[in-house]
Chain A
Amino acid sequence: MTQVLFYLLCAVALLGAFGVVIARSAMGSVLSLLATFFALAVIYLLAGFQFIAAAQILVYAGAILVLFLFVIMLLNLGGMGSRFELDFEPLKGTRAKVAAAVAAGLALIGLIAAQRASPKPIEVPAGETPIDGLDRLAVALFGRYALPFQAVSLLLLVTMVAVIVLAKRQRPGAGTGEEENR
């Protein structure tokens, strides 16, 4: 039962990823990515990572995809009949072949590495206790990994400042904006 569900979710995740690549509009890509993220969250749950599954849904599906949707709608890129419609234009000629060869080679390397990674898979009974129990995770995060944690919080602060500076619309007469007043 778990196996069947797992393979079904793998198929959903891979089809969603494929949909991101081949969707004609950016909106279709976002919706395919949403399917992939939800499938991955349930896969994390099946593999015994409850907190990571919750974080996946909250952060990826809840925050990042909403950000993508917001930008797509703000820039009016999503609709099929919009002025700035961006059709699926695969690269022509050699560049597409090189891209496909790179992706196929990466997949091959990954599959070989996965094949050789575990000569004897260790069976952990799923569903009993999560591997990432919140108590253990919190002790590790604020104990042994306190320095990376603080570095990441500093990174978030820097990101916030950078995004405000980048996305701020500059007034027509105030400063040396490279863009014209708009």
Chain B
Amino acid sequence: MSVHPEHLLFLSAGLFALGVLGFLIRRNVIVMLMCVELMLNAANLTFLAGSRLHSTPGAPDLQGPIFTVFVITIAAAEAAVGLALIIALFRLKQSADTDQAAEMKG
């Protein structure tokens, strides 16, 4: 009747793999940042599945939700800093393409 924690872990694995794939094959910096958000969501799902696994009806496990709250907060901070960096990069390069930013390539 209820949701299996295993299935949450399967979904989490799929979301994380798609996030990694997008981060590796896309060149638009904004889309890469979105893929990072996708990976953080997969991590949240893993935390909550673990919390489901270790909860009993009398004693709920709170570490999963607590750390999910922290991850959501840090994801918001990361998105804000990342988008500010993208704006700075765009001002410098007139482009959001990662191939354009190659100063530190050596």
Contacts and interface: CB of A to CB of B under 8 A. Distances in A.
13 contacts: A6-B3, A20-B38, A21-B26, A37-B41, A43-B45, A60-B41, A91-B27, A107-B13, A114-B10, A122-B54, A131-B60, A141-B69, A156-B73
Interface in A107-123: 107, 109-111, 113-115, 117-118, 121-123
Interface residues of B, number: 77
B27 A86 contact: yes
B76 A63 contact: yes
Nearest to A149: B70
A17 B37 contact: no
Interface string B54-87: 1111001110111011101111110111011111
Contacts of A26: 28, 30-31
Interface of A: 2-3, 6, 10, 13-14, 17-18, 20-21, 23, 26, 29-30, 33, 36-37, 40, 43-44, 46-49, 51-52, 55-56, 59-60, 63-64, 67-68, 71-72, 74-75, 77, 84, 86, 88-91, 95-96, 98-100, 102-104, 106-107, 109-111, 113-115, 117-118, 121-129, 131-133, 136-137, 140-141, 145, 148, 152, 155-156, 159-160, 162-163, 166-167, 178-179, 182
A20 B14 contact: no
Contacts of A160: 80
Contacts of A51: 65
A159 B84 CA distance: 10
Interface of B: 1-22, 24-28, 30-31, 33-35, 37-38, 41, 44-45, 48-49, 51-57, 60-62, 64-66, 68-70, 72-77, 79-81, 83-88, 90-92, 94-97
B53 A121 contact: yes
A126 B2 contact: yes
Given A49-B51, A100-B25, 16 more contacts: A17-B15, A40-B44, A43-B11, A49-B68, A52-B44, A60-B75, A68-B34, A71-B83, A77-B96, A84-B95, A104-B17, A126-B3, A129-B60, A141-B66, A160-B80, A163-B84
Secondary structure at chain A's binding surface: helix, strand, loop or mixed? helix
A83 B50 CA distance: 46
Contacts of A91: 24-25, 27
A147 to B, nearest CB: 12
B67 to A, nearest CB: 9
Secondary structure at chain B's binding surface: helix, strand, loop or mixed? helix
